[in-house]
Structure 1
Amino acid sequence: MNTFGSFVFVIVVVLGLFESGHADLQMGFYSKSCPKAEKIVQDYVNKHIPNAPSLPAALIRLHFHDCFVRGCDASILLNSTSSTGNQTEKFAIPNLTVRGFGFIDGVKSLLEKECPGIVSCADIITLVARDSIVATGGPSWKVPTGRRDGLISNGTETLGPIPAPTSNLSTLQTDFSRQGLDLKDLVVLSGAHTVGFGHCSSFSARLYNFNGTGNPDPSFDSEYVANLKARKCKSANDTTTRVEMDPGSVRTFDLSYYTLLLKRRGLFQSDAALTTSSTTKALITQLLQGSIENFYAEFAKSMEKMGQIGVLTGSSGEVRKNCAFVN
């Protein structure tokens, strides 16, 4: 290669590296464009979460459901409109019990006043999920920012990627693998159920008619089944009652969810599935034998991975002015 050719080659490589680096997420992405952005998010969370203790679980679920469809691009926030001609993710069956949309809008409103058109809804979801768990005394994790908001939201796309509460381990493993997450991520991220609630309708078949047998799921602790039927899910058709995923510890981000799994008291079939494999059961045992700090560290690593699924950066997508509508 001649000198001029070498020079051009070097320039192209350098520019390519620059563009690639520019498009990556980064810590403190808004440090110059909106210096108070992350503090505004944190202050809003710290102000409102103490009065709404069930919201942290709802907000992390919102983040999870967003990232598993088209990546972490806030597509779950978009409303259906006559112009789109389709039902958006927000109104699809897997998301009908998802909450926290108004909370995200509240944060977005403050950020638009501070620095209009700068902070994406996708970054807000990710930051709020982290800060709300921290507000419960739970783990923190790194949230590099710079996500852009997606332009497309199609409800039919939720029916495959989002794991159902009735999923078995094989299905869960496939769903997570598609997102670049492994079995350890599956077990660790399921630990978020330590602060969550489940609707009776999501597991009533395990109480009343498992696999069409007319009997409870034999893998479900019989004493717990009787208790749930007597005090919580009194009908197989109950669609409104919510049950603590981690009874007695629902406001504390701890390891007791895993203890309940080994006692056959995980609410969802997808929870119970984590004990059906020697690999996942061993991971649960390792977490229980370790310190809470170890669990927090593992949870942080998995959340950081999840928060970077399919992100839009650079000139892709947009920064919405209103999280419910494309600009």
Structure 2
Amino acid sequence: MRRTPRTAAAHRAERRGEPAPDPARPPEPRREDCPWCGSTRLRIRVRTRPSAAPDPVRPGALGVDECRDCAHVFRNPRPAAGERARHDSDAPDGSRERHRFAERFLGARASARRHRAAARALLSLPEPESWLDVGTGHGHFPEAAREIHPYTSFDGLDPTWRVHRAWAAGRVEEAHRGHLTDPAILARLRCRYDVVSMVHHLERAPDPRAELRAALTVLRPGGHLLVEAIDPGRAFGRLLGGRWFPHGEPHRLHLVPPANLLAELQALGCAIVATDHRAPQTPYVPAGALAPTPAGALPVPDRAPAPPLRRIRFSGAYRVIARTPPSSP
């Protein structure tokens, strides 16, 4: 018998180990202050999109605010826990279609090149023995990074069942299912890794600061943290508004500006080893933003503009490598 959409959504939630979505459950209350700095000087960045259909399960999913003081961008109100990460299967606003279009446009090879570039950024540092990829999903980043660091042991952590598939495919040596901030996981992984990577993970975390503190806990003294994140100050975010893919995906809860991330890492005692605003940038952002939506099709982008886009503020990612204090935090 064919499942109803409600039952299918509950089944997907069960596989992810998350609460089942409840259409009757109200969204989390709207914040009147910035979750990063506490300022009450907020401005609306994205509130509605004319082409988006109403979503009774995720009301307010397109609400995105920006702090006028620290420039932190966050989803407001935030979807309830059971409704997060559902965009890739049942979102009515076209985010799934844009994501798939971007994947086809960019291609698996280009994605692997981006992953290898991130791993290559650590080549000037001592060869790591152990590496934990947080939010690893299917393990594509460890798979690509192993080509650059063949003598490193890669583990993966993810709250979904995908991490077990990554282990079964041989992309990670150990699969940890859960959240890095869980006390049980922190106790098991404390001071175990030379490198922790968070590739587009902080934007999905309910509390990015807690994720950073947890990463320092599982790193050995003098270990390195690799973060790639979306820069909310990039031009595409302001030009495209609700059609910029990070604005339209409910699971992206926070967009942390580079200055905020650097200041937080330094406050935690880390030394900034390297920052990069060009190497992580790929045509993924324009492809995802300009993909066809249910309300109509926009022009399909060409691969030709990709190299110039990497050199201007139209791309959307940045990379930070930080070294933990020489003694345990």
TM-score by length of 2: 0.27
Higher strand share: 2
TM-score by length of 1: 0.27
Higher helix share: 1
Max radius of gyration: which structure? 1
